[in-house]
Structures are given as C-alpha cells and as structure tokens.
Amino acid sequence: MAQRLTATSLPKPRFHYSPIVTAGGWVRFSGMIALDAASGQLEPGGPAAETTKIMGNLLAALPECGLALEDIVSARIFTTRFELFPEINKAWETALQGLETPPARTSMGVSALPLGATVEIEFDFYKEEIS
C-alpha cells in the first residue's frame, strides 16, 4: 500500500499531489522544480542554478525520510533548455560527487515545465526499511 511521506524542508506543493510516496522499500519523489522552501519562489539563474537548488532541496529532505543519497536508484531530468544540458550535468555531478554508484538516469527535452522552470527532476530510492 502506498503511503505519503512528508519533509518540512521541501517547498509546499501548489497543486493536489503527494510530493513523496513510499510503497514497500521504494520511495518516489515527485518531479521537483527549483522552488525555495521558505518563499515558494523559483530559483533565478537558469538551468545550472535550478539544478543546484533541486539537488539541495533533495539532500535536505532525505534525512527526514530516513534515506541517504546512497539509496538513490534512478532519476528523470526534464529540461526546456536541452542545449544547456552540460550546465545541468555539471550541477548534477557536483551534488553526487563521491557517490560510488550513481543512479540510472533519463534526460528529456520538453517544451514547458510548471511555473516557468527550465529543469524538473524526479527521483526513485530504495531502502529495505524506511524509518
């Protein structure tokens, strides 16, 4: 049975969905855009800054969910600026620096994302026992 998890460090959703859902040992983070948790505003600066913010938001939420970065299995990156993907990838690699087994990853160019974002990332984690 799926259950909703909460992380107070994440921005509050603006629409009707669960930002984090767990089922068995799987934890799915809904697509995250670069919103500031306090203000709810989109991080300025384009794809690199947005990716850095998304990864920072994720890392802040993991302890609240009983997870560690080492539990990541896969990610899906969506961007409206695929020509700037090297910037996204650099921010991604900085956030995952030192991770022995990086996650499987899919990257897609799209025509639009919510709230004018240029990057959105979904994450899947697996852990036998979620605390």
Q: What does the alpha-carbon distance between residue 111 and residue 31 come to, in Å, rounded to a whole number? A: 16
Contact partners, residue 66, CB within 8 Å, separation at least 6 = 127, 130, 131
The model scores a pTM over 0.85? yes
DSSP codes, 41-84 = PBPSS-HHHHHHHHHHHHHHHGGGGT--GGGEEEEEEEES-GGG
In the chain, where are the structural domains located? 3-126
For the ranges 2-6, 23-27, 58-62, 80-84, which has the lowest average pLDDT? Answer: 2-6
Sign of CA dihedral 63, 67, 69, 72: negative
Q: Which CATH number fits domain 3-126: 3.40.50.1110, 3.30.479.30, 3.30.1330.40, 1.10.274.10?
A: 3.30.1330.40
**Both structure tokens of 67:** 């997870």
Q: What is the pLDDT of residues 27-63, one digit of tens each?
A: 999 999 999 999 999 999 999 999 999 999 999 999 9
